[in-house]
Structure formats: C-alpha cells, structure tokens
Structure 1
Amino acid sequence: MVAQLIEDEPALAHEHALAASRRAGRVGVVRETVAITAYAVGDYALALRELRTYRRISGSDDQIALMVDSERGVGRPDRALEVGRAVDRSTLPVEVRVELAIAMSGARLDLGETERALQELDIPELDPDRAFSWSPALFAARAAVLEDLGRSGEAAVWQRRALVAEEALGASEADRELIVVDDIDESDGEDEVPSENSSDTDHASDTQDASDAEHDADVENAQDADDAPDAEEAPAAGIHESDAADESDATDESDAEEGESSAPEEGESR
C-alpha cells in the first residue's frame, strides 16, 4: 500500500507504514519504509530516527543520502556533513554515491558555502556526454549551484543537459521495447514483404510443397512395414488409424498378460 500511495497520498502511505511498524517493528525494511514516508511528509526527526534504526538492523548504508538530508531537515547542516563524511564512499553503489554527493552539496548551500557546494558535485559520475539513471538529478543539482553563484549561462547549459539526459533515458527505454518487438516479429515481417514476381514465386512454392508432401507420404508408407513402434511409444505420423488401433489392442493384451503373471498369490503381501 505504501508503494501504491507514496506518490499521490504520502500522508496515507505514512499511516500504512506506521501500521506495519506496530506489527513488525524489528524488520529492517519496515523501519526503512517508515523513514521514507516520514521524510515524504516532512517529519524529518522521525525519518532520522527510523533511518538510524534501519541502519543498525541491516548494517547497510544505502540510505545515507536520506540521513544527510534529514539532518538538514532538522536544521543541522554541520551534522549532515559529518554523517556524510563518515561513510566510505568507495563501498557505496554508484546511485547511492551520486545521491550522497547531491545531499552533501545541499548541506554546503545551507551553510552558505556555495563554491564548496559545487566541489561536492565534481565526481566521476558527472559525465555530460553520457546519460545514466542518476544523470538528470546530478546535472540539475549542478545547475542550481551555478545559478546561486551567478553563473547563469553555465547554469542554463547544465539545466539543458539535465533535460536532454532525461529525454535520452526515456527514448532508450522505448527503443528497448521496440527492439524486443522487432526481434519477435522479424521473420513474420520478412514473409509479408512481396517480391516483384510474387505470383510466380507462390505458384512454384505450392508446386514444390505438393511434391514434398507426396514424397514424404511415400517414405512414411514404406517405413510402416519395417519400423513398427514400440508398445510404449505414441504412433508416428503416417501410420493409418487401423494400424494404430491394432497396435493399441496388442499393447492392451500384453499389459493384461503381464498383469496376470505379476498378480500376487493368495495370502501373499504386495
């Protein structure tokens, strides 16, 4: 329910998260969910407390950026920087590392350290020529800092890059779907393309198919007498219905005889 409601009704999502916490408060993902919904409704103190509990239960730093932002939310940007610096960034997933850089930059802005806020965003993932899932947010954060520095021209460039990256990511998703469809329908599409002499080709193909069918029938009829199938196998294609019925009757009789020979004598245990 939290997943369904968090975007449109964060307050109601938060109530569901709290209900889950009352029933399973020692489960890490439950405390993480409470933290996320608390952050969404602006209860940063609760979010921070739940994030600490989640971190203690799971041993994971994957919500470190949210912790930094929650420290900012309660008015402690200095503490936010301390929390961010205490983590070994090389151990973090790329997405988390980028989110942390953005949060740290925001804390610098809270302290009025605009130049240092820009430096927080100078990370290897800041590649203007390639678009990743984290690129739009990172580019937009840099644009905001540049705007605060009064470098409006550069800010406009990075804002434009953020929009282009977002559009490129959307187009990439659409292309992947299109590729799948093309792969599935590729053979069908080729069959539907007519040639210049389509009528002649179709007639020749029909003639060849008829010839092949007659040849296959002759081969199957010739093999019927030589290659009788085993009793346990299904009748092969080409065997007449009467032949299949005879073989079925023979199989039933053979099974009956085996059943009689294997039946236990009176008083014998199965």
Structure 2
Amino acid sequence: MIPERIEPRDLDKGARAELKTLSKENADWVARHLVAASEFLDDDPELAHQHATSAARRAGRIAVVRETLAITAYATGDFSLALRELRTYRRISGSNDQLPLMVDSERGVGRPDRALEVGRAVDRAELPVAVQVSLAIAMSGARLDLGQPELALAELEIPQLDPDRAYSYSPALFSAYAEVLEELGRTAEAAEWRARTARAEAALGAPAEAELVEIFEIEEEGEPEPEAQAEPAAESEPATESEPNHDDPGAVLEDDVAAVIAEGEALDAESNDAESNVAESNEAEAHDTESNEGGRDGAVPSAH
C-alpha cells in the first residue's frame, strides 16, 4: 500500500503535468505510486519497482510512468525489462536523456558492443551536459567490458573532466577516471584523481545541493567567486492548495510486470519498431487486462 503521508502534490510539477490526460482520481493514484517508487528506490528497489508497476497498470502510455518503471527495473537488475521500457519511454517522449541508462542496460545483458552502438547513435552535442557526462562514463564501462582500457580512458577525456572545478556530475566522472587509471596500472595518477573526487564532493556539499550545477573552485584559493553556469535545475513545485486525498482504489502491489510488458510490446508494434514481434492477440489481451483493472482513462502518448 502507499504510505498515507504521500500526497499527489509531492510529485514533481513536470511529471504531474504529464498525468493530466488521466481522470483526477486516477492521476492522483498514479502520482502517489510514482512518489513512493522514487522514495524507496535506494533502500528497497524491489518495493519501488512494485509501485512503478502499479502505476504502469493504470497509466502505461504516460512517458514519466514508463521512465520510472525502467529505472526501477534497472535498480533490481532486470536489464531486459529496463531496456524495453527505456525504448518505450524514448518513443513516447522523444527524449534521449536516458541514453546512458540504455547503454548500461545493454552492458547488463552482456552486449557491450551493442552498448557502444547505442551510445554512438546520438549526437552528444545535442544532449544536456550532465547526460553527456553520464554517457561517457557508461561508454567507458563498455570499453572495459571489451578489455579496452586505453579506449575506456579516452571515452572519459572530455571537456567536463576539469580538475580545477566541480559540477554536480564531477565526482562520478573523476571517480570513473581514477578507476580506469588504476586498471592501466597508473596508480599514482589514480590516487590523485581519487583525491580530486573527495575534494569535489566536499565542495559540492550535501546531495541535495549537488543537484545545482554551480561551479566551485576546488584547488585554487583566493580566486574571485566564479559565475554560476546554470543548467536549468528542476523547478520545485510551489505550495498550492491542499488537494483531496483519495484512497487507493483497491489496488494491490502485485507483480504485474507481464501486463506491462504486453503493453510495451503493443506500443512496439504500433510504432513499427524493428525489435517488436507482438501479435494482435497479445495486444487485445493486454487491453482486456487494463479494462478489468479500471482502464487507463483514455490516456494517449505524450510527445516532448
């Protein structure tokens, strides 16, 4: 069950906007499950995945719902399901922001060559800077999987690998660079980059603060305070009037991944995805299941 303290308005403002194609009651119910999935992701990924699955049963054509299901599947180690849901999310949303997770999921199913192909299929210059960095780290990991440490190091040598400044993504990038240097036997350099990782984390402060992309000087002292190079941070939702708190309409947190997969396959067929082999009978069965569970309130894919 969803904890009573979780309210629909706890969901990010942008995500809530995507749920407007649903009825008010259904949108609130789905929003609460998405918030629960986010809250439990780190400490109990299986429970987070159950919440995401429950949301997908009612709103499987909403991009943020499929994205959440993909992330929780990845967290539980179900890389095949994560890949399926990430592809569906990308078709619905038109966004490549989860490309690094797709690359890592390809690695998870044992296809590092395919992971590199997926990562190279998109112009990195068109991605947000933080996504570029995450992609570089994932691509470096795929190179290591293939026994190519020199190329793994080259994947990380991007403009954002700046030892004198720290952004929200810098600790992860510095740490990945140190690991590859260690793999190459360059232990002294690896130690230097680990020290930079620690200084970057200290400069950025708490995780909540690290979401900001302000620049921090981490080695030089006495410098003028640098300008913030702000990537737009996620806007927090302003306080609004309290919304009615609807009870969970009889839903149980059962593992209904099969129904979600069936819908994902139906979406694959509708978009003529080359990887889809779904028959019309499976699509009809999936929609029958949806109608038995309360329907999806006529939700349609949203494009971004």
Give the TM-score taking structure 2 as reference length.
0.56
The within-5 A match list for 1:1-270 is: 1-170=36-205, 173=209
Give the root-mean-square deviation of aligned CA atoms. 1.6
Bigger radius of gyration, 1 or 2?
1
User: Aligned residue for 1:188?
Assistant: none
Q: Deviations over 1:2-43 (max 9, x none)?
A: 111111111000000001111110000000000000000000
TM-score w.r.t. structure 1 length?
Answer: 0.63
Query: Structure 1: which 5+ residue stretches go unaligned?
Result: 177-270
Q: Separation in 2 of the partners of 1:4 and 1:27? A: 20
Cα distance change of structure 1 residues 95 and 22 upon mapping to structure 2, 3 Å threshold: same
Q: Partners in 1 of 2:182 and 2:143 — Cα distance?
A: 15
Structure 1 residues 171 and 57: CA distance shift in structure 2, 3 A: closer
Percent sequence identity is 71
Which AA in structure 2 matches 1:9?
A: D
Task: Give the gaps of 5 or more residues in structure 2.
Answer: 1-35, 213-304
For 2:83 and 2:206, the matched residues in 1 are separated by: 37
Q: In the alignment, what sits opposite 2:298?
A: none
Task: Report the Cα distance in structure 2 between the residues aligned to 1:171 and 1:120, rounded to whole angstroms.
Answer: 28
For residues 218-266 of structure 1, what are the alpha-carbon distances to aligned partners after superposition, in whole Å with 9 as ceiling and x for unaligned? xxxxxxxxxxxxxxxxxxxxxxxxxxxxxxxxxxxxxxxxxxxxxxxxx
Count how many residue pairs are aligned between Structure 1 and Structure 2: 175
- Change beyond 3 A, Cα 1:171–1:129: farther
User: What is the distance in 1 between the residues matched to 2:141 and 2:68?
Assistant: 23
* Greater RCO, CA 8 A, separation 6+: 2
Letter in 2 for 1:80: A
The structure with more helix, counted as a fraction of residues: 1
